[in-house]
Amino acid sequence: MRNSPLSFSVNLKIDKSQNNSSQFDYWILFSIIFLCSFGLAMIYSSSNSLEMTIRQGAYFFLGLIGMLLLAFSNFRKMEVFYLHSFWPALFLLIIVLFFPSENSKTSRWIDLGLFTFQPSELMRFILPISAASFLTKNLKTKMKDMWLVIFVTLICFYLVAIQPDLGTSIIILLAGLLPVVISGFPWIYIFFGGFLATLSLPLIWMSLYDYQKQRILTLFNPEADIYGAGWNIVQSKIAVGSGGLFGKGFLNGSQSQLNFIPESHSDFIFSVIAEEFGLLGTSILFLIYGILIYRLLMVSFYSSNKFAKIVSGTLSIILLAYISINISMVIGLLPVVGMPLPFLSQGGTALVVNLLTIGIILSLRKEV
Amino acid sequence: MSIFDNKKDSNETYRIIIFLSPFLILLFLAFLQILNLSYFNSDKFKTQSESNRLYQSKIIPQRGFIFDSKNTLLVENNIQQDLEINPSFIENPRIFLKQIADLLELNLNKIESDFYIRATGKSPNEPYILIKDLNEKQIAKLSVNLKKIKGAEIISSFSRNVIHKEVMAPVIGYVGNISREDIFYNPELSQFKSLKIGKTGVEKDFDSILRGNMGYRIQERDSNGKLIRNISLEPPIKGKDLQLSIDLDLQKKLFSDFNGRKGALVAIEPKTGLIRALISSPTYDPNLLNTINDYEEVKSLFADKDSPLFNRALSGQYPPASTLKPFVGMAALEAETISWEKQIIDSGEYYVEGDERPYKGWKEGGHGNVDMKKAIVESSDVYFYSLAYDLTINNLSPFLEKFGYGKQSGLTENEAKGILPSRKWKLGYIGEAWFKGDTINMGIGQGYITATPIQIALAYAALANKGEIVKPRIIEKVGNDSTEKVSKLNISLSDNKNWKRIEEALLGVVEASNGTANNIYDRNIRIAGKTGTAQVKSIGETEYKFLREDESLRDHALFVGYGPVEDPKLVVVAIIENGESGSAVAAPLVRKAINLYSKNEK
């Protein structure tokens, strides 16, 4: 493949030592620790709740341990376990529809007494791994298996969409379909599928809840309804814009401190960062995310193992999807869907799952 | 070495990059948007974020007080506590309203309907009062629990309290919210939203004086609407007080004599034009309207067929009937179509040449030979039919106009003009030519001519003043400044002795044994006056007895007089609708008014 058309552009020489050793990737570790600690500070700033911050800190600690355990595990031995862990995840996804936590309007959480957790978050982590494992069980991936994965993915998508949780259901779709398309699903079918999806847009539109439709409509003209559906976007844009170059300072963002930003500690935490640290802060954030994603992708690019390639590739893309969609919706480029900012937004399940994701990729890295 | 030549099969890498790229592009666009927001448009958003925290709210000024001529307080402001809500801070209206209803022990349905009615047509960030005049228990409960309820706040406001409710209602009027129509006529009101303005009476006519100036307060609030701190304050300025010319004591005593009957009374000082009493009956409780929550509560007031809200003293248009006769006589004297001495035979009926139809006098058989004085004293109809016929409308109307008939009195802009008919008027309004019969009817104050009680009072004030027409006033002082008398016109007659002679005739009405108001004769305080019986409907004699049974068709009783004649202190006109006889029901009111007032003055 020396004359591959892309070869000139991707000159990503990772130092040789990495290639022949299983040395730990400290770039990844440090960027994770930075992001999570920064997230804790911002959660405190936006919620003013020490309790919430400590709780999130506890999840961080738990997740970090989980991450390190996974990172040093042997994924080959775990593969069978990953393959079959799909079933309990699916089971939980069904259970949550019947026994949702009573503290919420939607059926997203399962209440385990001490804490609640989101089966959909677990699924978007398990699904790509078990799918990749299933698809790579034979040397050459069979079409039949691909169709099966697509079918299962659509079921999971449906189960999450009716919770309702539009944001995570989109991620589930990515989580299940990316392994299929990466492992060599014919382009003709991909284009045809994309074509079908475009045609069915009106159908999807009709199946949306009113508030979801409203959010999409609001995107095009948030100022039309400042105090109604447009409130989130307008307030969040004001926060980002008023931060200016250097921000208003930690704990000094008037938009967030006076609670003008809705969900400022979870989905809209980016606008708090932008308000309090300005363009400088967001640029640094982009840089750290950039380093993280780059290092994660390298694992995939340099991996010789198809399973490892698919899993790390899919998980990296999902992480990037979370980051780009969350930031885009906060600044009014995309409709508001429930999608947290990885490592920063408040939310225990998401944080732990994201850390486990990193753990998996780190364990695959040893196979480079 | 590149990632593609590194491995045997790099098809996956290729695909990963392809499916990665949309999100990379999205992230790039997001970065551009952030640059746009926080670098290129930063100033705009900084301003918006400032105004986001800062709320400017208005502070309603206290309306001026109103006193009577003896400085008795007539209208005050009660301080009340209201529940104000700000819809933009309410997350779930159903839960919010339920909380409020439970807390205040109020009917949820009522509150909900109020909420939705008021929410329509308002911008959602405009606070408004949901529940008025909270009681002490409610305030106590609210102040403990309000912290938990977003978007609600207790604020104090003033409610207008007219102390002598029904007695003063027609004078004072009531206040209400600013309507779209109000803003149309007076655009500057648009900045006073949430303020109440006068809708009728003195409250309306002197609204700009009573209103005061708005205060402003800038507060910092969080998105839950909770107050963080006050940033600046410009206190409101209370409106100026008014002192009315009304004598509360006189007004009260006269009002009680109306006893709910329909009618009106106006008492004016002829020399100054100050109104000492102004009664319109039936009346209403203005405080009901001052504190009104919704129209339903007072619907019955507006629908009442006796129209209690209608100010009969200023806008009731009645035929002046026989009270017009002195002016008809004076007009004929001016035109020299009659003299004081000339006698006319009154046989009870008057015929125009070439017309079979009789014009009937009120007294069967007539008054015999009558001259001007006797015609006024006994109120001969036939004499004035004849006078008017000879005088013609072209001479009569302009003369009456000098005395204020057909024109607003100048007290307020919201009074009726009455009708002073003329050839031109009839052609324009009725679309018919003027007939001689119309002039004949007008000779006794019937037919097309109508006048308001205040017009009649002013015309007689001119008689009492021997020609001077003064502008009526109801305000003696604005703040500390006294209002001044305005003389509108001085009517001069070709023979100024005629003023005296007319007065003698009017004295005869009360003092002569054959006078129509002999029943109110009192030699201590001499009154000159004239009775009147305004026909509600012209009817033949045979039908008359039958129709009298229906009260609404009975004639209106009028009396207008002034006294003491030597130095007239008060002109009083009294009209009792369907009261039949002016001398029996209206004249005693006038007598009482003049007696009370003269004694007070001494």
Q: Is the minimum CB–CB distance between A324 and chain B shorter than 8 Å? A: yes
Alpha carbon distance B157, B159 (integer Å): 7
Is B48 within 8 Å of A286 when comparing Cβ atoms? no
For residue B352, count other CB atoms closer than 10 A to its CB. 16
Higher pLDDT, A214 or B521: B521
| Both structure tokens of A308 | 């490892």
B538-584 confidence digits (pLDDT tens): 444 444 444 445 555 678 899 999 989 999 999 999 999 887 777 78
Q: What is the pLDDT of residue B274?
A: 94
Is A4 within 8 Å of B5 when comparing Cβ atoms? yes
**Are B594 and B572 contacting, i.e. CB atoms less than 8 angstroms apart?**
yes
Looking at the fold, whether B378 and B507 belong to one and the same domain comes out as yes
Is B53 within 8 Å of A254 when comparing Cβ atoms? yes
Looking at the fold, whether B262 and B216 belong to one and the same domain comes out as no
Portion 103-142 of B in contact with A at CB < 8 A = 124-125
Rg (C-alpha) for chain B, rounded Å, is: 35
Alpha carbon distance A82, A179 (integer Å): 14
What is the domain partition of chain A in residue ranges?
Answer: 23-365
Q: What is the pLDDT of residue B584?
A: 81
CATH number of residue B467's parent domain: 3.40.710.10
Domain with B528, as residue range(s), is: 248-601
With contacts defined as CB-CB under 8 Å, which chain A residues touch B222?
A: 257-260
H/E element holding B532?
strand B528-534
A184-235 confidence digits (pLDDT tens): 888 898 899 889 888 888 887 777 777 777 767 666 655 555 445 566 777 8
Is B46 within 8 Å of A245 when comparing Cβ atoms? no
Q: Is the minimum CB–CB distance between B94 and chain A shorter than 8 Å? A: no
**Complex ipTM:** 0.89
With contacts defined as CB-CB under 8 Å, which chain A residues touch B29?
A: 328, 333
pLDDT at B26 over 50: yes
A115-135 confidence digits (pLDDT tens): 777 889 889 999 999 999 899
Residue % of chain A over a pLDDT of 90 = 38
Q: Is the minimum CB–CB distance between A20 and chain B shorter than 8 Å? A: no
A334-351 confidence digits (pLDDT tens): 887 778 999 999 988 899
Q: Work out how many domains chain B is built from and give that number.
A: 3
Lowest mean pLDDT among A127-131, B490-494, B498-502: B490-494
Higher pLDDT, B236 or B50: B236
Confidence label for B54 from pLDDT (cuts 50, 70 and 90)? low
Partner residue opposite A183 with nearest CB, options B5, B12, B44: B12
Of the residues B209, B244, B279, the one at which a domain ends: B244
| Both structure tokens of A278 | 């300005």
Tell the burial category of B298 from Cβ atoms under 10 Å away from its Cβ (0-12, 13-18, 19+).
middle
Confidence label for B404 from pLDDT (cuts 50, 70 and 90)? very high
Portion 187-206 of A in contact with B at CB < 8 A = none
Mean pLDDT is highest, among A297-306, A348-357, B150-159, for A348-357
pLDDT at A355 over 70: yes
With contacts defined as CB-CB under 8 Å, which chain A residues touch B91?
A: none
Looking at the fold, whether B210 and B264 belong to one and the same domain comes out as no
Confidence label for A49 from pLDDT (cuts 50, 70 and 90)? confident
pLDDT at A260 over 70: no
- Bond before B564 cis per omega within 30 degrees: yes
pLDDT at A143 over 80: yes
Looking at the fold, whether B280 and B140 belong to one and the same domain comes out as no
For residue A237, count other CB atoms closer than 10 A to its CB. 25
CATH number of residue B139's parent domain: 3.90.1310.10
Residue from B27, B55, B228, B231 to probe the interface with A (highest A Cβ count within 10 Å)? B27
Instruction: Name residues whose C-beta falls within 8 Å of residue A193's C-beta, 6 or more positions apart in sequence.
Output: none
Q: What is the pLDDT of residue B401?
A: 94
Which residue from B minimizes the CA distance to A8?
B2
Q: Is the minimum CB–CB distance between B42 and chain A shorter than 8 Å? A: yes
Helix (H, G, I), strand (E, B) or coil at B476: strand
Lowest mean pLDDT among B97-111, B121-135, B275-289: B121-135
Looking at the fold, whether B152 and B23 belong to one and the same domain comes out as no
Residue from A20, A182, A257, A273 to probe the interface with B (highest B Cβ count within 10 Å)? A182
- B73-85 vs B528-534, strand pairing mode: unpaired
Angle between helices A143-161 and A86-98 (to 10 degrees): 30
Looking at the fold, whether B240 and B252 belong to one and the same domain comes out as no
Q: What is the pLDDT of residue A367?
A: 60
Residue % of chain A over a pLDDT of 70 = 84
B292-307 confidence digits (pLDDT tens): 766 677 778 888 888 8
Q: Is the minimum CB–CB distance between B45 and chain A shorter than 8 Å? A: yes
Handedness of CA A22, A28, A33, A34 (dihedral sign): positive
With contacts defined as CB-CB under 8 Å, which chain A residues touch B55?
A: none
Q: Is the minimum CB–CB distance between A249 and chain B shorter than 8 Å? A: no
Question: Burial code of A184-202, b = ≥16 C-beta within 10 A, e = fewer?
Answer: bbeeeebeeeeeeeeeeee
Q: Give a three-class secondary structure readout of A13-44.
A: CCCHHHHHCCCCCHHHHHHHHHHHHHHHHHHH
pLDDT at B486 over 90: no
CA-closest candidate to residue B461, choices B508, B406, B503, B419:
B503
pLDDT at B388 over 60: yes
Q: What is the pLDDT of residue B551?
A: 58
Looking at the fold, whether B134 and B196 belong to one and the same domain comes out as yes
Alpha carbon distance A126, A109 (integer Å): 17
B343-360 confidence digits (pLDDT tens): 999 988 888 877 778 888
Of the residues B215, B244, B273, the one at which a domain ends: B244
Looking at the fold, whether B372 and B419 belong to one and the same domain comes out as yes
Which residue from A minimizes the CA distance to B46?
A242
Looking at the fold, whether B23 and B118 belong to one and the same domain comes out as no
What torsion, rounded to 10 degrees, do the Cα atoms A236, A237, A242, A247 define? 60
Confidence label for A365 from pLDDT (cuts 50, 70 and 90)? confident
Q: Is the minimum CB–CB distance between A24 and chain B shorter than 8 Å? A: no
Higher pLDDT, B48 or A180: A180
Confidence label for A2 from pLDDT (cuts 50, 70 and 90)? very low
Q: Is the minimum CB–CB distance between B10 and chain A shorter than 8 Å? A: yes
Alpha carbon distance B152, A288 (integer Å): 44
CA-closest candidate to residue B600, choices B74, B248, B244:
B248
Catalytic residues of B: 322
Is B12 within 8 Å of A182 when comparing Cβ atoms? yes
Higher pLDDT, B178 or B219: B178
Q: What is the pLDDT of residue A266?
A: 82
Partner residue opposite B222 with nearest CB, options A258, A282, A306: A258
Looking at the fold, whether B433 and B410 belong to one and the same domain comes out as yes
H/E element holding B442?
helix B436-442
Looking at the fold, whether B166 and B204 belong to one and the same domain comes out as yes
With contacts defined as CB-CB under 8 Å, which chain B residues touch A264?
A: none
Handedness of CA A66, A69, A72, A78 (dihedral sign): negative
A147-177 confidence digits (pLDDT tens): 999 999 999 999 988 887 888 888 999 999 9
Residue from A254, A280, A286, A325 to probe the interface with B (highest B Cβ count within 10 Å)? A254
Q: What is the pLDDT of residue A13?
A: 44
Q: Is the minimum CB–CB distance between A6 and chain B shorter than 8 Å? A: yes
Distance from the A187 Cα atom to the nearest Cα atom in chain B, whole angstroms? 10
Higher pLDDT, B246 or A164: B246
Of the residues B219, B244, B269, the one at which a domain ends: B244
Alpha carbon distance A273, B405 (integer Å): 79
Q: Is the minimum CB–CB distance between A235 and chain B shorter than 8 Å? A: yes
| Both structure tokens of A83 | 């393959």
Portion 186-215 of B in contact with A at CB < 8 A = none
